[in-house]
């Protein structure tokens, strides 16, 4: 069984190499498709037979729909290159495996279990003003950070066949390709936050809302499946403001056996937590015989 890992990267080449080594160490049968941000100054020169760098680059931003476009584009890139895989996994550039077994963990399941959400927060409030996305997903939605989620390839394939999904991405692609698009998205994000703070969100225009929230936390998680689901496999310390995971938390994850990966790891090759995973847990990613 093969897995496709879709990853957005933008900084620190050594930590990107470390991430690739980590995935290849803990998952033997996989492909990795990287999207390098268009504004990044990196010139990646990494050679692995299972590594592909998506040439369709976007100017990435924060919580403005960028990752929806990146993962959709990486999926399309994999199809164009005829990569054969059974599962699609969005993976964070600041996420690492700490334990093997992801193939066995997801085998037989359609997607990760993500409960429907009803409570309001900023992201959901903005989503409810995005009439285009509501047309795709409706109001009975699920929300999750991408890390730790997984989807059968067939689920993604059936979803993107919808002409409305294709149109959603084609209509807005230019806003993620041009510098002026990034400026517009920043203005829209500021406007949405101001409307939310002033409690006048009901007056927010849909065309502004569309580019003002982390749509990737809703788009793929809300894909409907009638098959079996299973809990997400990544530990994220949501009780912390910076979400940084500690060595003690990693050891706790290993003790309780619940999680296979963790986030957030600093994007620095010499970060102590990253070094602990690489050197202590993973034998410097030496390939097991």
Identify the band that residue 117 occupies on the pLDDT scale cut at 50, 70 and 90: confident
pLDDT of residue 139: 84
- Gyration radius from the chain CA atoms: 19
Q: Say how far apart CA 226 and CA 253 lie, in whole Å.
A: 30
Residues 111-132: what's their mean pLDDT? 88
180 burial (CB, 10 Å; 0-12 / 13-18 / 19+) is: exposed
Q: For 28-80, what is each residue's pLDDT tens digit? A: 999 999 999 999 988 888 889 999 999 999 999 999 999 999 999 999 999 99
Asked if residues 61 and 242 have their Cβ atoms less than 8 Å apart, the reply is no
pTM score, whole prediction: 0.96
Residues 216-230: what's their mean pLDDT? 93
Of 50 and 224, which is predicted with more confidence?
50
Q: For 240-288, what is each residue's pLDDT tens digit? A: 999 999 999 999 999 999 999 999 999 999 999 999 999 999 999 987 6
Residues 209-231: what's their mean pLDDT? 94
pLDDT of residue 260: 98
131-163 core/surface letters (b: 16 or more CB in 10 A; e: else): eebeebbeeebbbbbbbbbbbbbebbeebbeee
Q: Say how far apart CA 28 and CA 26 lie, in whole Å.
A: 6
pLDDT of residue 90: 98
pLDDT of residue 1: 83
Cα 56–Cα 62–Cα 64 angle in degrees, nearest 5: 75
Q: How far is CA 272 from the centre of its chain?
A: 24
Which tokens hold the place of 189? 């994000």
Across the chain, mean pLDDT equals: 95
Pick from 166, 150, 129: nearest CA to 229: 150
């Amino acid at each position: 069984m093969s897995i496709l890992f879709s990853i957005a990267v933008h900084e620190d080449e050594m930590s990107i190499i470390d991430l690739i080594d980590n995935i290849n160490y803990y998952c033997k049968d996989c492909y990795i498709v990287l999207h390098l941000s268009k504004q990044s100054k990196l010139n990646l020169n990494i050679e692995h037979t299972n590594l592909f760098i998506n040439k369709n680059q976007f100017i990435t931003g924060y919580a403005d729909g960028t990752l929806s476009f990146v993962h959709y584009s990486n999926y399309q890139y994999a199809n164009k290159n005829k990569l054969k895989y059974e599962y699609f996994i969005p993976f964070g550039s600041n996420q690492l495996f700490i334990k093997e077994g992801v193939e066995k963990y997801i085998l037989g399941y359609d997607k990760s279990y993500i409960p429907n959400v009803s409570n309001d927060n900023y992201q959901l409030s903005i989503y409810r003003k995005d009439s285009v996305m509501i047309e795709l997903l409706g109001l009975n939605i699920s929300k999750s950070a991408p890390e730790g989620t997984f989807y059968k390839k067939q689920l993604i394939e059936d979803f993107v066949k919808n002409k409305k999904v294709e149109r959603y991405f084609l209509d807005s692609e230019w806003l993620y390709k041009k510098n002026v698009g990034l400026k517009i998205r920043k203005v829209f994000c500021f406007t949405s936050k101001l409307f939310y703070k002033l409690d006048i969100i009901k007056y927010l225009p849909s065309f502004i809302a569309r580019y003002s929230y982390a749509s990737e936390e809703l788009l793929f998680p809300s894909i409907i499946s009638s098959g079996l689901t299973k809990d997400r496999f990544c530990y994220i310390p949501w009780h912390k403001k910076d979400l940084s995971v500690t060595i003690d938390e990693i050891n706790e994850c290993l003790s309780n056996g619940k999680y296979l990966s963790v986030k957030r790891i600093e994007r620095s090759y010499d970060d102590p937590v990253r070094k602990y995973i690489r050197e202590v847990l993973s034998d410097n990613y030496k390939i097991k015989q």
